[in-house]
Amino acid sequence: MFVLRKLYQDGVPGPGVLVAEGLFASAIGVGFAAWLFPAEASLVSVFLAAITAEDAIERLLEANRRKILVEGVPPIRANGRLAGRIFCLFAGLVFGFACAVLVLPEAQVLSIFSHQLGDFGGVAFPALHFGSFVDLFLNNLYVLCFFFVLAIPFRHDGLMIAIGWNASVWGSTFAALARTWSEQGGPPLPVAFARVMAACFVHMSAEALAFVLAGMAGVFVRKAVVKYSIESEVMESVQKTVLRLLGAALILVVLGAAWEAHVAPTLVSVLSR
């Protein structure tokens, strides 16, 4: 984002700046969508947030390519660093969308986040239920494939749209659960939101990182197909990297679904008291 670009070290945003960038991007997306496209703000806000953060993603991907091809950093190390940075941007977006739900009037929240909230509108945190491991795994596997496929034709733009949408769903849902709980006689809103995040943070982080890795794999596939010969050594290296990323993403999806199905319900029960 041009507002924070002066804070980029060596032209690349650091973790703290990326969290701030996510917060700014979500605020700009929600604000302008509600102002200019109120009837479609639920979807437009995600696209505007994705566009706002596009510069950061492009710089991160270019820095990652430079680390591997020019500086000789091992791909697994460089890609792990890239995934961590993108996750920071994702975290900023989640909290940005959550803040919008926590502070805006209820009628405006229901309008702006109508698609994101779905059946969670009016549901309090103690009533939160999770599905079975199989259902959660299959749903998260679908989302993982969505991240991967969308990033192939649209590159980092597709990655940002996928990240923006998922961040808006999680951020708005977590905040709505806390807000409804607090308004129905639960703890103060900051405490309620902190408890919601404590119950959902682990599986959310595992799943979010899995989706980021899948999106990165899609971006790498697109760049490799465009730039390199199929039989080249570079293409072979990219293929191995893509398989490693997807393998790691699949493991994280399994772990996230297992935690969400078997541990998260207990956390909800304990933290709702």
Reported as a single tens digit per residue, the pLDDT across 12-29 is: 888 888 999 999 999 999
**CA–CA separation, 43 and 111 (whole Å):** 11
* In-domain check, residue 6: no
Q: How far is 75 from 82, CA to CA, in rounded Å?
A: 10
Kindly state the average pLDDT of the residues 238-264: 95
In a domain, 7, yes or no: no
| Sign of the CA dihedral with 197 first, then 202, 207, and 208 last | positive
In a domain, 1, yes or no: no
- Which range marks the domain in which residue 72 is found? 12-271
Q: Which of 146, 265, 153 shows the shortest CA–CA distance to 211?
A: 146
Chain length of the chain = 273
Does pLDDT of 61 surpass 60?
Answer: yes
The count of structural domains within the chain is 1
| 108-163 pLDDT tens trace | 898 889 889 877 777 899 999 899 999 999 999 999 999 999 999 988 888 889 89
In a domain, 2, yes or no: no
pLDDT tier at 7 (50, 70, 90 boundaries)? low
Distance, in Å, from the CA atom of 243 to the CA atom of 26, rounded to the nearest integer, reads 32
Radius of gyration of the chain (CA): 19
Q: Is the pLDDT of residue 228 over 90?
A: no
CA 85, CA 215: separation in Å to the nearest integer? Answer: 13
Three-state SS at 9 = strand
